[in-house]
Structure formats: structure tokens, C-alpha cells
Amino acid sequence: METYIARTTITATQRRILQCVVDTIADEGYARATIGEIGSRLKISKGVIQYHFPTKEELMQETIAYIYATARDYMSSQIWQTTNEWEQIRHFIELSCQFYQQYPTCIKALQAIRSNFQPLKHKSLAVTLYERELSDLADVFLSGQKKRVLREFDTDIAALTLRMALNGVAAKLYSQQNYNVKKHADELTELFRRAFLA
């Protein structure tokens, strides 16, 4: 399957539709997030949605892109303020945890899409962007190793381990409404500091 190429810009109407998809999936579940339900919530016709997103597959791919863009906008300006790779990783951990807490509908919707969305034409953008994130993390680790900021370790395994640890934060938030995300982020930061620093 080919990789889906997301739109580089979206209109205000498209943004409203995509946010409604996120909210509907988070509230009702993936199966109930029909074009009819989304139209009903927005008080627009199915035709208007299909004008902007001709197929459900395209609508889901663009929803995935929208969620990742929301996270990227939230995090990227702070993560890359420093050239120190450990500080970038520390910011990534802290900001990921903060994002999960502040945008729970995005994370809940993304998890539901990952579990249920079966595209016919293109590889799911959720898979593509997840793989890209792991690759980017591995690159940060490798750069830190070259500068001797980070010790030697397998960067691919480290990237996957960090990603899975952060997924655990999101899962904990769903099972425990008032979960102390800050404490969890602090503990993860300390664990990975000990594991990664030279």
C-alpha cells in the first residue's frame, strides 16, 4: 500500500469537521462516528462533509493528520529550543504527558482509529506517522551519542521503549481520571535520564 499524503493546509470549515470527528469518536466510539452523526453534530448536511472529504477513508486519514498536527503545534516550539539532545528528550517526555492531559479527546480518538480503521487505498497515516516519530527519536538519540551527551545504546530500541512508556501514561489517564500526570512525567524523566545520559 502507498503512503497517504495529507493536505498541507486546511480551511476553517475542514478544521471544524475534523475536530468534530475527533470529539465524536472520543464520545461515541469509532463505529458511531458516521458522516451522518458528524453532520448532525455540526448542523450541516452529509453533502457538505463529502464535498470536503469525499470518502470516509480520506476523512479518517485527515483526522489522523489533524491530531498529529495538533500535537506537533503544541510541542515542537519548546522541544527544539535547545540543541542538547537530553534536554530535547526531557521536553518530549514532559510535553507529551501534558498534551495527553490537555487533549484527551485527541488521544482517545487516535487510539480508536488505530484499532478500527482499515484503509483500502493507502497505508494508515497513523502507522506512517508513528514510524516517523520512532525514527525521529532514534535520530535524536544518535545525535546525542555522537556528541557524547548520551551513552551508547541501541537507538531504535530506546525510541520504542520511550514511546511505549509514554503510551502507558495515556492509558493510565483513561483508567484513572485524576491521575497525577506530572508525577508520572517526573518519574519517567528521571528513569530515562539514568538510562540515557553518558
Query: Which distant-in-sequence residues (6+ apart) come within 8 Å of 27 by Cβ?
Result: 105
Mean pLDDT of the chain: 94
Specify the higher pLDDT residue, 80 or 58.
Answer: 58
For the record, the C-alpha cell of 119 comes out as 484503509
In a domain, 29, yes or no: no
In a domain, 32, yes or no: no
What pLDDT score does 10 carry?
Answer: 95
pLDDT digits (tens, 9 = 90+) for 66-88: 999 999 999 887 777 788 999 99
What pLDDT score does 176 carry?
Answer: 84
Q: For the ranges 11-15, 77-81, 107-111, 142-146, which has the lowest average pLDDT?
A: 77-81
Separation of alpha carbons 25 and 60, rounded Å: 11
In a domain, 177, yes or no: yes
In a domain, 76, yes or no: yes
In a domain, 157, yes or no: yes
The domain total for the chain is 1
pLDDT digits (tens, 9 = 90+) for 167-186: 999 888 878 878 899 999 99
Distances (CA, A) of 63 to 30, 55, 81, 162, 174: 12, 12, 28, 25, 21
Report, as an integer, the average pLDDT of 100-121: 93
**Domain with 185 in it:** 66-196
In a domain, 59, yes or no: no
In a domain, 40, yes or no: no
95: Cα within 13 Å, side-chain hemisphere: 17
Q: Quick check: helix, strand or coil at residue 176?
A: coil
Q: What is the CATH number of the domain that holds 177?
A: 1.10.357
Report, as an integer, the average pLDDT of 50-73: 95
In a domain, 31, yes or no: no
